[in-house]
Homo-oligomer: A and B are copies of this chain.
Amino acid sequence: MLPAPFIAAVQQLIGAKRLLAEAADLQRYGVDRTTIWQPAPSAIALPGSVEEVQQLVLLANQYDVAVVPSGGRTGLSGGAVAKNGELVIALDRLNEVIEFNPIDRSVTVGAGMVTEALQNFAEQHGLYYPVDFASAGSSQIGGNIATNAGGIKVIRYGMTRDWVLGLKVVTGAGELLELNRGLLKNNTGYDLRHLFIGSEGTLGLICEATIKLARPPVDLAVLVLGVNDFPSIMTVLEKYTAAMDLTAFEFFSEAALCRVTEHTGLARPFESQAPFYALLEFEQGGDQLDTAMALFEQCLEAELVSDGVVSQSLSQAANLWKLREDISETLWHYKPYKNDISVKVSKMPDFILEVDALVAERYPSFEVVWYGHIGDGNLHLNILKPAELALEQFVAQCSSVSSEVSELVERYQGSISAEHGVGLLKKPYLKHSKSSEEIALMRAIRRSFDPKGILNPGKLFD
């Protein structure tokens, strides 16, 4: 479907073997972690330099070819899906460390670097890249930035946004921009860097990023608590955050724990059952461990929690983390409906009750599994497909759930996508999180960066 002279020019530019069009390649590079859309790109380009990316975008403009930027394709919203004969530009080859300075505690890397590789690089230099999530082993830095990835350490370390000191991008018009120069402080007009973070490939291709690194946390302890009901989690959160700096405050339901222990063979944290579990992580140095244990006693006395365990070793801490981190992978076995939403932390108890009631009333056979990042107001709503329900019917019914939950999110002044982005999946619901004026301004901004609309068409908005 690509014009022949365009193909010739691309082959000339990056080399014929860097332009893939085998069925397996189209399948592999044309889709992210979603399973809803059929991948159908025309070809996959694997540029080897920022200059090649820029030339590719200029050629795409010249020949009116739609482009889908591709990172690690671990997204959950269809932001990297190519289903209409687009050219996929995959940044895989731009995966090197370009510059590192220990005094600045910053590193410039190619957008194709895998998250875990950056984490490891930081560790080798006595530093720490704190953005972490289940797909760190395959997601790429460029994709993380394009979706402003969150994860399990946001309560202490923030989102990907908070670690980006500089970006080298090629806009939809083919302009090369160097944004913020890796500086910590730079108040010189609109911060276009922040516009690119979370833009899901609709303004430009992120080619390189300068990332801030942190002092590594020391001697982390993990505490898992059995909590008697959801409002109690809030009280526990308030008590702990008032007294200490947590590096994580996660939660999951008994239903989630059952599935994970069943599928992974991991031991339960303790024998007794509770409706919900909170997972707290903190540096145990100073008197932090004592503080944490004293608060635990208080929570027990106040009947907020029913049981608890604190890690006694690194391996025990890692195993407790797995109870939370393996939930997502475990639930894939149940062909789940997944929704990533947020409300203000204080509104979570009421919101969860309303969602539970809504699903119970309308779809009594559905099993809801909750987990997420309590400290950030971020809930992962999962619904497992009932064994007796055909997949198509389940998908259709879940589409109604999405509409109803999105309306509820709007009523709670929340977000229809907390950390996964909009892509194709959340596009119909964007109106519940953004006003029509905001969406019109977003469109106008997009036109300024990508006048011909060749980048990731149909993502975010039509």
Footprint of B on A, CB under 8 Å?
101-106, 126, 147-148, 150, 154, 158-159, 161-162, 171, 175-179, 181-192, 194-195, 197-200, 203, 215, 234, 237-238, 241-242, 245, 285-288, 342-346, 373, 376-378, 413-422, 426, 430, 433-435, 437-439, 441-442, 444-445, 448-449, 460-461
Report B-chain residues with C-beta under 8 Å of the C-beta of A241.
105, 215
Contacts of A181 in B (CB 8 A): 344, 413-415, 433
Tell me how far the C-beta of A345 lies from the nearest C-beta in chain B, rounded to whole angstroms. Answer: 5
Query: Which residues of chain B have C-beta atoms less than 8 A from A147's C-beta?
Result: 187
* A104-B346 contact given A159-B185, A179-B438, A189-B422, CB 8 Å threshold: yes
Tell me the number of copies of this protein. 2
Q: A191-B197, A342-B183 are in contact. Are A444 and B448 (CB under 8 A)?
A: yes
How near does chain B come to A148, taking the closest CB pair, in angstroms?
A: 5
What B residues does A285 contact at CB under 8 A?
286-287
User: Counting chain B CB atoms within 10 Å of each CB, which of A102, A190, A245, A445 scores highest?
Assistant: A190
**Which residues on B sit within 8 Å (CB–CB) of A187?**
147-148, 150, 198, 415, 417-422
Smallest beta-carbon distance A209→chain B, Å: 15
Chain B residues whose C-beta falls within 8 Å of the C-beta of A175 in the assembled complex: 437
| Chain B residue at minimum C-beta to C-beta distance from A101 | B346
Q: Say whether B103 contacts A190, CB under 8 Å.
A: no
Determine which of B194, B242, B426 lies in contact with A188 in the assembled complex, contact meaning CB atoms within 8 Å: B426
A150 and B184 alpha carbons, distance in the complex (Å): 10
Chain B nearest CB: distance from A206 CB in Å? 14
Chain B residues, Cβ within 8 Å of A286:
285-288
Q: Which residues of the other chain, B, contact A103 by a CB distance below 8 angstroms?
A: 234, 237-238, 345-346
Q: Return chain B residues, CB-CB under 8 Å to A346.
A: 101, 103-104
Flag if B104 contacts A184 (CB, 8 Å): no
CB-CB < 8 A to A192: which residues of B? 438, 441-442
Q: Identify the interface centre among A182, A185, A438: most chain B CB within 10 Å of its CB.
A: A185
Which residue of B has the minimal Cβ distance to A182? B344
Q: Report yes or no: B198 in contact with A195, Cβ–Cβ below 8 A.
A: no
Contacting residues, chain B, for A185 (C-beta < 8 A): 150, 154, 159, 342, 373, 376-378, 415, 418-419
Task: Choose from B104, B184, B288, B414 the contact partner of A183 (Cβ within 8 Å).
Answer: B414
Which residues of B have CB within 8 Å of A415? Answer: 181, 183, 185-188
Can you list 23 A-B pairs, Cβ within 8 angstroms, ordered by A? Answer: A101-B346, A102-B238, A103-B237, A177-B441, A178-B435, A181-B344, A181-B413, A185-B342, A186-B342, A187-B419, A187-B420, A187-B422, A188-B417, A188-B430, A188-B433, A189-B198, A189-B442, A191-B194, A191-B197, A195-B195, A285-B287, A445-B445, A445-B448
